[in-house]
Chains A and B, each alone.
Chain A
Amino acid sequence: MFSLSRKDLLALAIFTVVVLTMPVWLAPFGAAYPGLMQKFAIYAIFAIGFNILFGLTGYLSFGHAAFIGVGSYTTVWSFKLLTMDILPAMVLAVVVTGVFALVIGYFSLRRTGIYFSILTLAFAQMSYSLAYSVLTPITNGETGLLLARDDPRYLDALLGAQANVAGLPQPTLLGSSVAGYAGFYLCAVILILTFFLSQKVFASPFGMALRGIKSNQTRMNYTGFNTKPYMLAAFVISGMIAGLAGGLLSITDPLAGAERMRWTESGNVVLMTILGGVGTLFGPVIGAWLIKYFENIFSAINTNMLNTAFSFLPDGVQSFVVTVLSKFVGEGWHLTLGLMFVLIVVFLPGGLVEGFHRFMARLKRRSAAPERVSSVQPAE
């Protein structure tokens, strides 16, 4: 059940090392602080989940942010009503999102292609509006759902485990805090498990059936293969992983806001997957990291920082360089991201993973080429 092919095992090992050493290799990029690394791990989980649906079946869901939102709200309510321990919270987030995904999937999957995308988008926008205003007693609307000191927390009260802290209680894993680096390692471990799950799905007959649906669903149906349960299963798994990501967002930062469910967030995960490489194992993860990096680091660069960075240049040149570059950082980070997206879609339709493969192929050819040249030379 847990066996992997040698190639997958190697990939998993590399992935594990890369994820766990994030605090080291992200430091030179100015991104090695727990807040952002947690986001890196969580959005990678989200993108991996999305890729199981979009990458394998080709069904483009434009409403995946709704699942993140449901997971987040469930987690915060579990903190408020049951216990500050994160295990029940995570289980509940996954289960509730699964049920929610089942309902949405049941209706949306009756259509394919663009109609499916629009249906999921409609459901997500509906959930967003509900969370933003109609369901305010449950979601606390625009302000976002927050913990309070006098929340009931029935399970904690029952077990007499009510924390006697002066401020707000913090989420814990079996009594130990999950703030800061502990929170990052928690998310990192879950990310690695999710990656393993996605490898298993990719390699399984189930994954093969999903790929079959992507290449020609009609033909599958004609051969007597009922594709519906497969589609629904893929949709629900994908939704549950998104719910888990939403739950982790609330665990590392106990607040749930309706903005998490906006269509821009759904669009973001599509961008992440396409940027990295649809249908590949590493692609969505790389895409998620890249977008989160731009969002958090590029947007924080201001002209002040540019001026210090380019202070070695002569005055006129410096102000010119800073003026030009300042359009692409800070408030202009969307522009940079957009440009990069266009370039990648035009020149590398398979995403960054394809770029990497091409690069490796070229390297191989180059290292192979001199031999041929040397073998040809004597003949001349």
Chain B
Amino acid sequence: MANFRTSRRNLLKGAGAGIVALGTPHIFTRNAWANQFCNDPGSGKIVFGFNVPQTGTYAEEGLEQLKGYELAIKHINGEGDGGLLKTMKPLALKGNGVLGRKVDYVTGDTQTNTDAARDGARRMIERDGAIMVTGCVTTGEAVAQQSLCQEMGVIYMSGLTHGNDTTGKDKRRYGFRHFFNGYQSGVAIAPILAAEYGKERRAYHLTADYNWGWTQEESIKNATEALGWETVAAVRTPLGLGDYSQYLTPVLNSGADLLILNHYGHDMVNSLPQAVQFGLRERQANGKNFEIVVPMFSELMAVGAGDAVKGIIGTQNWNWQLDDEGSKTFTKSYGEAYGAPPSQSAHTGYVQAILYADAVERAGTFYPPEVIKALEGFEFDGMGNGQTLYRDTDHQCFKEVLVVRGNESPSSRFDVLNVIGKTPREEVIYDPSIFGGELGPYEPNQC
């Protein structure tokens, strides 16, 4: 029979060895534990999540954006002609993926619906292990996804969102916006409007009756009233209205000589042609030509509005006809890939994906707080918008804002908007505290 009794000496020796053995992995892995975060790619695949509307009201813009993302993945992985990696300064990406590893992606359909957008983002994070989620065409989608991503501890790079709330009242530490906003539109368009239409105008607003419309109306009103304009009335129109005649008739007798349409997408595609058919632009009021302004433009909307868009002034984030190196390069590689010039929706998506990848490369890790710090206060150039700053206090990009005018004699289907002015970055910078909101913590949650 074996003797299982142990001496005191052996027991102490064994206990000591056991403690050391238990402690060792802890000492070696403590750093790893500290850096554990949601969807840490470790040695697995690196997945980006592209969540855009592929059906619903803004499907067209969403699909454009998706093309931009797919092109960005190619260029990050070193396929194709490299695109903006050739012009971006400073650049950390090497054209061999991110941190030397190839990037994969998954896609989702937000259906232009905040619930579906969050479902899609959760699928990407929980099932597909996405390290970053990006894409949207409305401010509702952007805010919904970015607050979800904050809770999950995954960085969200918003796509096309123009409402002030995304980087204002509802800003988040994990959300970043490259696109401009309603406030910047107002500031940028004002001097051009003054130069074109004089300083004594009586403006009449028709505003889409939801959050984005109101913030834009407020921004434009403040900017134009600072010029000396008078606001006759600001009328709210329900979203998705087909027939605007009941809202256009009162404009005639209001004593206004300029109509501002705070409409986007389908609303604008309906309201602008109806206003033009109403004969508003042939009218004289207060001894001046009656004018129409659409503060926020996109190429797809301009195409949809057809001839009515000719001569109308608005603002844009980016236009493929810009002649800087970055814009030319991007238009060329996008055109080669898809056979048509890119829209601003494709551009902002493309740039956001590149910016995220570049920030990871600079941070040297996927650990979100480090990547966020790499993006905050980042100054870059050569992406088509001139010198650009990602402001650290609200995660909003600051760059030139374009003022465009509907082309009177378009040479092609894509040649609908002409750039008539650029408002420099210094003029569109504002104090982040005017919108309130708070960014929240850096430390990621576990998902």
Give the interface of A toward B (CB within 8 A).
30-36, 39, 129, 132-133, 136, 140-144, 146, 149, 166-168, 170, 180, 249, 253, 255, 257, 259-260, 262, 295-297, 299-300, 302, 304, 330-331, 333-334
Within 8 A of A (CB), among B116-150: 116, 118-120, 122-123, 125-127, 138-140, 143-144, 147-148, 150
- Which listed segment binds A: B192-200, B314-322, B435-443? B435-443
How does the 8 Å CB contact mask read for B226-253 relative to A, with 1 for contact and 0 for none?
0000000000101100000000000000
Q: Is the CB of A142 within 8 A of B211?
A: yes
Alpha-carbon distance between A196 and B130 when the two chains are bound, in angstroms:
38
- Contact with A33, one of B54, B118, B127, B163 (Cβ below 8 angstroms): B127
**Which B residue's beta carbon lies closest to that of A38?**
B122
Q: Count A/B pairs, Cβ under 8 Å.
A: 127
Q: Which residue of B lies closest to A168 (CB)?
A: B151
B211, A141: Cβ atoms closer than 8 Å:
yes
- Interface stretch, picked from B105-113, B356-364, B420-428, is B105-113
Q: Are B441 and A167 in contact (CB under 8 A)?
A: yes
Q: Is B79 an interface residue (CB 8 A)?
A: no
State whether A334 touches B122 (Cβ < 8 A): no
Would A330 and B109 count as touching, CB distance under 8 A? yes
Indicate if the CB atoms of A35 and B165 lie closer than 8 Å: no
* Residue in chain A with minimal CB distance to B106: A300
Number of contacting residues on B, CB 8 A? 47
Which of A31, A168, A260, A299 has the most chain B CB atoms closer than 10 A to its own CB?
A299
Contact A166 B441 (CB under 8 A): yes
In chain B, residues 43-63, which have Cβ atoms closer than 8 Å to a Cβ of chain A? 54-55, 59, 63
Known: A167-B443, A295-B116, A299-B111. 11 other contacts (CB 8 A): A136-B211, A167-B151, A168-B151, A180-B447, A249-B115, A255-B118, A259-B113, A260-B115, A262-B113, A296-B120, A331-B54
In Å, the complex CA distance between A133 and B210 comes to: 5
6 contacts between A and B (CB under 8 A): A34-B126, A142-B140, A146-B143, A300-B108, A302-B106, A331-B54
Task: Report the 4 A-B pairs with minimum CB-CB distance, sorted nearest first.
Answer: A35-B122, A331-B54, A33-B126, A166-B441
Chain B residue with the shortest CB-CB distance to A39: B119
CB distance from A337 to the nearest CB of B (A): 11
Residue ID in chain A nearest B208 by CB atoms: A133
Question: A167 contacts which chain B residues (CB < 8 A)?
Answer: 150-151, 440-441, 443, 445
Q: Please indicate the chain B residues that have their CB under 8 angstroms from the CB of A304 in the complex.
A: 105
* B139/A142 in contact, CB under 8 A: yes
From A35, A144, A255, give the contact of B123 (CB < 8 A).
Answer: A35
**Inside 8 A of B148's CB, which chain A residues have their CB?**
253, 255
A-side contacts of B440, CB under 8 Å: 149, 166-168
Contact B109 A300 (CB under 8 A): yes
B144–A255 touching, CB < 8 Å: yes
Chain B residue numbers with a CB within 8 Å of A133 are 209-210, 236, 238-239
> What residues on A are CB-neighbors of B123 within 8 Å?
33, 35-36, 296-297, 300
B212 at the interface (CB under 8 A from A): yes
Other-chain contact of B139, A136, A143, A149, A168 (Cβ < 8 Å): A143
Closest Cβ–Cβ distance, residue B19 to chain A (whole Å): 33
Asked, given contacts A144-B143, A257-B114, A300-B106, whether A331 binds B236 with beta carbons under 8 Å apart, the answer is no
Contacting residues, chain A, for B147 (C-beta < 8 A) = 146, 168, 255
State A330–B211 Cα separation when bound (angstroms). Answer: 30
Q: Would you call A331 and B59 a contact (CB within 8 A)? A: yes
CB neighbours of B210 from chain A (8 A): 132-133, 136, 141-142
A297 to B127, CA, bound (A): 11
B170 at the A interface (CB under 8 A):
yes
List the B residue with the shortest CB-CB distance to A257.
B114
Look across to chain A and name the residue whose beta carbon is closest to the beta carbon of B210: A142
Q: Quick check: A143 and B143 within 8 Å, CB to CB?
A: yes
Measured between beta carbons, the chain A residues less than 8 angstroms from B447 are 180
The answer to whether A168 and B109 touch across the interface, beta carbons within 8 angstroms, is: no
Q: How far is the CA of A371 from the CA of B443 in the complex (A)?
A: 71
Interface centre among A167, A168, A260, A262, by most chain B C-beta atoms within 10 angstroms, is A167
When distances are taken between beta carbons in the complex, the residues of chain B under 8 Å from A262 are: 113
A334 touches B55 (CB 8 A): yes
Contact call B114/A255, Cβ cutoff below 8 A:
yes
Among B123, B238, B239, the one with the most A-chain Cβ atoms within 10 Å of its Cβ is: B123
Min distance, Cβ A182 to any Cβ of chain B, angstroms: 13
A149 close to B109 (CB less than 8 A): no
Given contacts A167-B150, A259-B114, contact A144 B140 (CB under 8 A): yes
CA distance A297 to B109 in the complex (A): 10
How near does chain A come to B208, taking the closest CB pair, in angstroms? 9
The complex places the Cα of A39 from the Cα of B126 at a distance, in Å, of 14
CB-nearest residue of chain B to A132: B210
Q: How far is the CA of A141 from the CA of B208 in the complex (A)?
A: 12
Q: Which of B119, B125, B438 contacts A296 (CB 8 A)?
A: B119
Residue of A nearest to B54 (CB): A331
CB distance from B370 to the nearest CB of A (A): 17
Complex Cα gap A143–B441 (Å)? 22
Are B107 and A302 in touch, CB under 8 angstroms? yes
* Distance between A287 CB and nearest chain B CB, rounded to angstroms: 18
